[in-house]
Amino acid sequence: MTIKVYPSVMPGAPEEIYHDHGLTIEDFIAGHAEGYRRGPVQRVSCAVNGEIIDPRYWQDKVIGPRDSVDIRVKPFGDVVQAFINPVAYFSVKAGQAALKYLAPDLPGQNGGGQQGAQIDPATAKANTARPGAVIPQLFGRHIRFPDYLNQTRRYYQDTRTQVLELFLSVTPGEIEPEADLVKIGETPMSELNGVTYQIFPPGADVSGVSNHENWFNSPEVGGTQSGNGIRLRGITFDERTYDGPATASGSTLSGIEVDEPWSAGVSGAVLLTQSVSVADGSGAGVADPITGNFQHLLAGMTVNAISDVGVSGTYVVTSINAGKTEITLETTGGTPLSDLVDGTGISGTMAIDKAGTKYEITAINSPTSVDVKRILASGAADPDWVELPTASVTADIDWQADTFTASKIGPYTACPEGETTSVVEVDILASQGLGTVDGESINARSRTITIEYREQGGAAWTAVSKTVSGATRDQLGWTFPITLPSAMRPEFRFDRVGGEDVSVTSLDRLEVTGLRAKLPTRTSYPDLTTMAVTIVGSEEIASQSENRVNLVGTRKLAPCGGGPIRPTRSIADAVYHMAKSSGYDDSRIDIAELQRLDAIWQPRGDYFDHVFQETTLEEAINTALRAGFAELTAPDGVLTPVRDEPRTQFEQPYSPENMTGPLKRSFKSVDPEEFDGVEVEFFDSRTWTRETVLCLLPGDPGVKLDKIKLDGVTDRTRSWRIGMRRRRAKRYRRWSYSFNTELDALNSNYLSYVPLVDDIPDYGKACVLRGVDSSGATPKLIVSEPMDWQAGETYVVAYRDVYGDLVGPFPATRGDDDFEIIADVDPLPELSPRQEPPHVYFGTAERWSFPALVTEISPGSGLGVGVQATNYDGRVYADDDNAPT
């Protein structure tokens, strides 16, 4: 029993091996993955003895002592989700939930965009296959070049019409396509003759279109309609024949010209013509004796003869002398050949051999010599074979073209390792037409193609003959289906009967351009929007456009918080879907804040339109939120969006009364080397190409640009706004603050808008409330320290309530002494002996505090907490509703 843990679903070695048993799958995973939560969606898959176990049954499935368990980290979320989720098991211990925040880049904060070249599926301008890779996922409204779900199938519907079938993956989830923006290249499919398409929602039955069939194209056999296949040359007449002098002896023919393609095993007709003489028979009805060299004949043998001495036809050898130099013949009806000469003998030539036989080369001895044997017409060995006639002869050799293995192309395996098939298609192309040129006319011509197959590595080949005909200069194509007798992993080879005619009047070039095997096929894709495209012989489409199928669609998602799916470009809907599909339940998503922000984003037209490749959940959510000036945090383990936006209401105040050390302030002056402008690169929905927009403040020379790549925003104006937010933040957020508190800082969150009070002369002052006198018309606050009142100044007062929030500021005047502050405070602060007294903040209206945004909260040792912040400046948001000129 072994438990193997692999780093991915791809082939490879396990990173960890365990030998546990007797516990459930859930027990094992929970013991090795901190923060594991039970649920139907997990970031790993678990197979027991090769069978995937649904996460819903992990709590019940016990690992036995003989079980083999494979645990693999998988692309997480939807079945083919675009998010790899590194925080699926993230948890924070009680009491520390607010101590660590996710702080990714956001325009207007540090960073804000991807830098450098990366794979960008949104800008890819071609359909691609992604074996073993994450399928890109569309959100909002975007262009998509779908990915191949199976190999393309190209076949000939008839001799002049080629069909191309594509079956594509559009995106995980469902979309609403825009019919006039479903295109090949730049042309809508609706305007192209012979082009049809169909889009299927997730889970639809796709068996009604042949595009869904899974055909494997043998990579060794391929071509295009322009004719780049494997040429069938065959064996030419000159290559397979010889007619000339030779010497025959034993099993050797010498003195001939052996052509290069000849090899052992080639067989065909061999006619050996020798000199003979004929004498008159010894009496009436007695056969005339024929003298020559007949070592290859036997008495009683049926022979075929061709001669110029009156012997031509089929005969029977009636006698042969001991030296096999003299024979007599009779007809097959038993009549002796007795009247060949009259009195005196004659001389001439004769070719004679056993009827129903042919010869086979057994060895190539030299360029002028071969060894042969006589075989029966069936190819079986001839039991009467001994030797050739020992003579100087004229050899007329015509080897059969289909016995030349050198002329066959292949073998080629038709399907991949581990697969079998029972149906194969073979494509033949006459790339220059077929026929013979006769002046202005083209005469018809037929050619026979031999297709042979066998189980891979088998011995015997099965041959199938196909005939092609034509009388044209135009290209002709044929697709021949081959049904195999059983499922197998076959290999194929091909040949043509006879050689290619290469004369100038001949149109005879034939090529094998395709070998396809039909493999097991899916008929439904539960989690994918799929697309079938069929192109039938359209001359309007250039071949280079065949992999440029594209469409524009809008993703359908449930509203943030739940409900039926519908087309949406909402940032909040996208974030909610990402979190839910990655295993987060509603209790771990701040739905209320997402909905609040959605009410801001939608009227502004701040949408999220993007196609994700492989990314993490955190990066994906931040990419979406960035389109709305927001980013992700996780207080108490709850995914919470925070929008950097104009503020009017302070949150938790900080002053020397709750700081454990002094407030540190630092100002960053303008550096001559820093950026003096921002250039935003975005994907423009008008052209679906990468565009740039320049973002400058008055006085910016725009020489040294901060270049950012903005994903998810396809509108020039909104890209400019994000760029201007970044530029303004660089200019107007120059102050940094840092201080330490005890646990007070845990009341704040990332980007909390807080007042910072410091006891610096001419700035604010913090003290403790000692009492409240409400006997007069206006309440009077009595504080622990004297306030510094200056004539001609306008003062305000504020306080921290029992919940830690700021109340105020309110206009303030001096009471009877410097310890009394008169202010119309509502509500009045509460004093209780069981609680810390309220903190009171006092100063001029303009300088009583430093408005700031919290950027980092870092727990230290003991009860200490460190805080960092940047100054709040309303000018940062001045271009949020403007547009580039």
pLDDT digits (tens, 9 = 90+) for 655-666: 999 999 999 999
The 8-class DSSP code of residue 78 comes to S
The 8-class DSSP code of residue 159 comes to T
Contact 654, 744 (CB under 8 A): yes
Q: Encode 324-337 in three state secondary structure.
A: CCEEEEEECCCCEC
Least confident range from 185-194, 372-381, 810-819: namely 185-194
Angle of the 571-581 helix axis to the 591-604 helix axis, nearest 10: 150
Bridge partners (DSSP) of residue 468 are 447
Contact 192, 557 (CB under 8 A): no
In whole angstroms, give the CA distance from residue 431 to residue 856: 70
In whole angstroms, give the CA distance from residue 381 to residue 315: 22
Candidates 364, 461, 406, 119; CA nearest to 239 is 406
Angle of the 617-626 helix axis to the 571-581 helix axis, nearest 10: 170
Residues 6+ apart with CB under 8 A from 480: 425, 426, 427, 428, 451, 464, 466
Q: Are 290 and 394 found together in one domain?
A: yes
Q: Encode 778-804 in three state secondary structure.
A: CCEEEECCCCCCCCCCCEEEEEECCCC
Helix, strand, coil percent content, the chain, rounded in steps of 5:
10, 40, 45
In whole angstroms, give the CA distance from residue 452 to residue 462: 5
Q: Which helix (H) or strand (E) holds 549?
A: strand 549-557
Q: Is the pLDDT of residue 321 over 90?
A: yes
| Rounded alpha-carbon distances, angstroms, from residue 725 to 566, 678, 880 | 32, 10, 7
Q: Following CA atoms 320, 321, 325, 330 in sequence, which dihedral angle do they give, to the nearest 10 degrees?
A: -30
Name the more confident of 793 and 401.
793
Q: Are 793 and 862 found together in one domain?
A: yes
Instruction: Give the pLDDT band (50/70/90) at residue 36.
Output: confident
In whole angstroms, give the CA distance from residue 23 to residue 109: 48
**In-domain check, residue 383:** yes
In whole angstroms, give the CA distance from residue 41 to residue 20: 24
Q: Are 272 and 294 found together in one domain?
A: yes
Sign, CA dihedral 658-661-663-666, equals negative
In whole angstroms, give the CA distance from residue 155 to residue 158: 9
Residue finishing a domain among 708, 733, 758: 733
Residue 19: predicted pLDDT: 84
Residue 93: predicted pLDDT: 23
Q: Is the pLDDT of residue 115 over 60?
A: no
Tokens 């049954």 identify what position?
57
Q: Which helix (H) or strand (E) holds 731?
A: helix 716-732
In whole angstroms, give the CA distance from residue 170 to residue 411: 37
Instruction: Give the pLDDT band (50/70/90) at residue 124.
Output: low
Q: Which amino acid is at 433?
A: G
Mean pLDDT of 390-417: 91
In whole angstroms, give the CA distance from residue 335 to residue 329: 9
Name the more confident of 763 and 205.
205
Instruction: Give the pLDDT band (50/70/90) at residue 228.
Output: low
Instruction: Give the pLDDT band (50/70/90) at residue 814.
Output: very high
**In-domain check, residue 791:** yes
Q: Are 53 and 108 found together in one domain?
A: no
Residue 836: predicted pLDDT: 87
| Rounded alpha-carbon distances, angstroms, from residue 63 to 14, 15, 28, 41, 49 | 18, 20, 9, 20, 10
- pLDDT tens readout for residues 44-89: 889 998 888 888 889 888 888 888 899 988 654 332 233 333 333 2
Where are the extended beta strands (E) located within 444-475? 445-455, 462-470
Q: b/e for 436-446, b at 16 or more Cβ within 10 A?
A: beeeeebeebe
**In-domain check, residue 655:** no
Q: Are 828 and 780 found together in one domain?
A: yes
Q: Is the pLDDT of residue 5 over 60?
A: yes
As given in the structure block, the two tokens for residue 102 are 């996710």
**In-domain check, residue 603:** yes
Residue 56: predicted pLDDT: 82
Mean pLDDT of the chain: 88
Strands 2-6 and 68-73: parallel
Cα atoms in the Cβ-side hemisphere of radius 13 Å centred on 717: 10
- pLDDT tens readout for residues 148-162: 999 999 999 999 999
In whole angstroms, give the CA distance from residue 331 to residue 316: 6
**In-domain check, residue 57:** yes
Sign, CA dihedral 683-687-691-694, equals negative
Residue 401: predicted pLDDT: 83
Q: Is the pLDDT of residue 744 over 80?
A: yes
Q: Are 743 and 770 found together in one domain?
A: yes
Which CATH number characterizes residue 28's domain? 3.10.20.30
| Rounded alpha-carbon distances, angstroms, from residue 436 to 160, 370, 432, 498, 511 | 19, 36, 11, 16, 18
In whole angstroms, give the CA distance from residue 316 to residue 335: 10
Q: Are 437 and 538 found together in one domain?
A: no
Candidates 138, 169, 183; CA nearest to 549 is 183
Instruction: Give the pLDDT band (50/70/90) at residue 30.
Output: confident
Contact 680, 577 (CB under 8 A): no
Q: Which helix (H) or strand (E) holds 623?
A: helix 617-626
- pLDDT tens readout for residues 619-631: 999 999 999 999 9
Task: State percent of the chain over pLDDT 90.
Answer: 70
Residue 543: predicted pLDDT: 55
Q: 338-343 long-range contacts, Cβ below 8 Å, gap at least 24?
A: 338/281, 338/284, 338/285, 338/286, 338/287, 338/288, 339/288, 340/278, 340/288, 340/290, 340/309, 340/310, 340/311, 341/278, 341/279, 341/280, 341/288, 342/280, 343/280
- CA 610 to chain CA centroid, Å, is 18
In whole angstroms, give the CA distance from residue 504 to residue 501: 9
Q: Following CA atoms 66, 67, 70, 71 in sequence, which dihedral angle do they give, to the nearest 10 degrees?
A: -120
Least confident range from 73-82, 663-672, 732-741, 763-772: namely 73-82
Q: Are 53 and 89 found together in one domain?
A: no
Candidates 164, 183, 170, 90; CA nearest to 130 is 170
Pick from 550-554, 770-774, 802-806 the range whose average pLDDT is largest: 550-554
**In-domain check, residue 883:** no
Contact 707, 679 (CB under 8 A): yes
Q: Is the pLDDT of residue 869 over 80?
A: yes
Strands 476-488 and 441-443: unpaired
Least confident range from 118-122, 141-145, 350-354, 427-431: namely 118-122
Q: Are 413 and 381 found together in one domain?
A: no
Tokens 């322009």 identify what position?
226
Q: Are 246 and 368 found together in one domain?
A: yes
Alpha helices in 207-365 (DSSP H): 237-240
Residue 375: predicted pLDDT: 97
Cα atoms in the Cβ-side hemisphere of radius 13 Å centred on 648: 0
Q: Which helix (H) or strand (E) holds 318?
A: strand 313-320
**In-domain check, residue 694:** yes
Q: Are 367 and 439 found together in one domain?
A: no
Q: Following CA atoms 72, 73, 78, 83 in sequence, which dihedral angle do they give, to the nearest 10 degrees?
A: -160
As given in the structure block, the two tokens for residue 696 are 């400058």
**In-domain check, residue 13:** yes
> Domain range holding 421?
230-234+405-519
As given in the structure block, the two tokens for residue 78 are 């939807």
Residue finishing a domain among 371, 401, 431: 401
In whole angstroms, give the CA distance from residue 144 to residue 662: 55
**What is the tally of structural domains in the chain?**
6
Task: State percent of the chain over pLDDT 70.
Answer: 92
Q: Are 567 and 530 found together in one domain?
A: no
Mean pLDDT of 29-45: 80
Which CATH number characterizes residue 412's domain? 2.60.40
Full DSSP string of 371-413 = EEEEEETTSSB-TT---EEEEEEEEEEEE-GGG-GGGSEEEEE
